[in-house]
Amino acid sequence: MTDVKLMNVKKRYGEVIALDRISLHVKDGEYFVLLGPSGCGKTTTLRIIAGLTAPDEGEVYIDNKDVSGIPPENRDLGLVFQHFEIFPFMTVYENVAYSLTIKGVDEEEIDKNVYHTLEVADLLEAADKYPQELNTPELQRCGIARAITKGSQLLLLDEPLGSLDVDARERFRFTLRRLVKGRGFTAIHVTHDQLEAMAIADRIAVFRRGKIIQVGDPLELYERPATIFVANFIGETNFLEGIVERRNEGTTLRLRGDFLIKAGESLLEPGTRAVIGVRRENTLIVPSDDGAANSIPGMVIRAVFLGKIVRYTVELENGDFIEIKQPTRTEKAFKEGEKVHVALPVEKVLIYPYPENMQYELALK
């Protein structure tokens, strides 16, 4: 039973508030991802859990035990570093054996353990090599192997895939998740890559500027992003501004240019400003004579063919721009300059109250 709880954790560096009273509960056996742009506090959170950084306020519980003041070496966890930090003056074997060697475990036991881990990490052949002789994926596996030899059930990973190239990164997501699930680890994984987070996580916490904006499973974050920021950060979303016209069976908005668009249920009062968001892949582009419901007329100003999808930019008649991604279908291709309608499926339209600072919500940091 390994779970991690953070209660009202606060950390500041001089004037900068790195973490603003965050609370979090990572459950036993969960693959949990801390996701956010750089400088959002996700790495600080991981370091606080590991004991490498002391919080200014709040408590951290590992297995329901308050670990405040316990130095990292006495916490039962393994940490995989972004740049792996393999000891350059030790062989791969010695690196992986490190945690056991310094604990004074007898050599036979170490041998058994290390070779087993090396086998799992596919590093048996590299056992006697020095880190300088390894390539990046091997170093990464060595970092993970070293962290799990310690025998802890809690595995912390700080951007573990960040140094790998795109191909290796995608393969490794799968390997990592299988390792964690196979051994019943609880994993906390920090990344700024939303695709990685979606692919690997049971649950994700979205961080921004020292706060947790939303916690949920990947589908939940994708389908019901809590704020404009989350909708923008996870997936690609078109936003349009308007004023709530009426509220019955969903919410109807009057956009600029007096176009009426229907969105889902909301608690917004008629007359208040609001923002609607629709994912690019959920936005439909239809011929202008189609008479589609919930649509706005416009003109294709750019069509980019990307192989299996086509990306359109449409300038609406009210002057707003919409980006659309559609699977390539040769019989229904639109040309630049063609008049079209942009249809927004009601159940896919997200609606938010107009934020205090729209620029801030849309910024990706």
Partner 1 sequence: MERFEKELSKKRYETAGIALVFLFLFLFIVGPPLSIFPIVIGNWRDIYVTVFSDPFFGQVGRGALRWEMILVALSRSFQISALVTLIDVCIGLPVALILARYDFRGKQLVDTLVDLPLAVPTAALGFSLYLFWGSNDGISGLLGLDSGLVSRGPILIIFTHIAFTYPYIVRSLKEIIRSVDQTLEYAARTLGASSFTVFRTVVAPQIRSGVLAGAILCFTRSLGETGATLIVAGSFYTAPLLVVEYRQLLMIPPAAFLSMILITISTFLLSSLRFSSERFGLQIRGAWPRAERLLSGRIQRGLRDTVSLSLFALLVLIPSSFIFTYLLKWWPGSPYTGNPQLGAFYQVFVAPDRKWPALWSSILISFKVASLSTAVNIVAGIPMAFILVRRNLWRVKGLLDALVDLPLTIPTSALGFSFFLFWGSKGFNLIKPGFWMIVLVHIGFTYPYIVRPLTAVVEGLNIPMEEAARTLGASPLTVFRTVILPSMKQGILAAAIMAFTRSLGETGATIVVMGLTKTVPVLIVQWVESLALPAAAFACTLLISISLVLLLVLRYVLKWE
**Residues at the interface with partner 1 (CB under 8 A):** 50-52, 71-75, 77-79, 81-83, 85, 87-90, 98-99, 102-104, 146-147, 150, 156
Contacts with 140 (C-beta within 8 Å, 6 or more apart), sequence order: 84, 160, 161, 163, 164, 172
Give the closest residue to 111 by CA, choosing from 94, 87, 132.
94
Nearer to partner 1, 81 or 354 (CB): 81
For 328-361, the DSSP string reads --GGG---TT-EEEEE--GGG-EEEEPPS-HHHH
Give the closest residue to 187 by CA, choosing from 86, 98, 113, 80.
80
Instruction: Give a three-class secondary structure readout of 223-240.
Output: HCCCCHHHHHHCCCEEEE
Strands 31-35 vs 350-353: parallel, antiparallel or unpaired: unpaired
Nearer to partner 1, 156 or 351 (CB): 156
Largest Cα–Cα distance in the chain? 79
Q: Which two three-digit tokens encode residue 358? A: 């729209």
Contacts with 149 (C-beta within 8 Å, 6 or more apart), sequence order: 96, 97, 98, 99, 100, 113, 114, 117
Q: Rounded CA gap, 203 and 27, in Å? A: 10
Q: Which two three-digit tokens encode residue 159? A: 């951007």
Nearer to partner 1, 73 or 258 (CB): 73
Nearer to partner 1, 55 or 242 (CB): 55
Nearer to partner 1, 89 or 167 (CB): 89
Nearer to partner 1, 61 or 354 (CB): 61
